[in-house]
Amino acid sequence: MGLANWLTVVRIVLIPVFVTQLVYRRPTTALVVFLLASLTDTLDGYIARRRGSQTRLGAFLDPVADKLLLTASFITLTYLKVLPFWITAVVISRDVVLILGAALIHIAGGTIFPTPTWLGKASTFFQMLTVLAAMLQFYFKIPAAVTWFVLATALFTTASGIQYLYQGTRLRHQPSPSEPHARTLVR
């Protein structure tokens, strides 16, 4: 397992540390841990591309680590009344719908090799910024325009969810695997 994948594993390990620090009202430590986890997200992709060491494990682990970190962040910050419930519902609902859609495609005999889109990346970026801004404003009283980040997160999360659903429906209209030249790859 290469350095990029180890950084992804570190991000996953940091999730319970981050949540624990928030719940026990240690916002400075929680902020540092969140920033460190966010940094590993940037570094793992950069290192994998730079070294040409992109792996199937990394392609699977990286988005899982992102989803786990962001889901834990949104749920915890909503529980602590730092973020409104509705934005957490938007973020989690999109992921649940996409997981169910992927499961249905798999059950129907399709294969998906999801590739991130710029909308998906923007969604993740704004979700991370929303968590950061909410923490800065709530715990450190630094004006961070949280409302604008929340709205941008809602917009990009919804748009990327629609885009991924559209891609999933394209798979449904492709020839079956028994037909010649069948495609089961969603791009």
- Reported as a single tens digit per residue, the pLDDT across 167-181 is 887 765 555 555 444
Grouping H, G, I as helix, E, B as strand and the rest as coil, residue 50 is helix
Rounded to a whole number, what is the largest CA-CA distance in the chain?
62
- Give this prediction's pTM: 0.86
Q: H or E element: which one contains 69?
A: helix 56-79
CA-closest candidate to residue 78, choices 161, 143, 3, 153: 153
Using the structure block, give the residue that is written with the tokens 């929340």.
Answer: 150
Grouping H, G, I as helix, E, B as strand and the rest as coil, residue 105 is helix
pLDDT tens digits, one per residue of 89-137: 999 999 999 889 888 888 888 777 767 899 999 999 999 999 999 999 9
The mean pLDDT value of the chain amounts to: 87
Stretch 133-162: mean pLDDT: 95
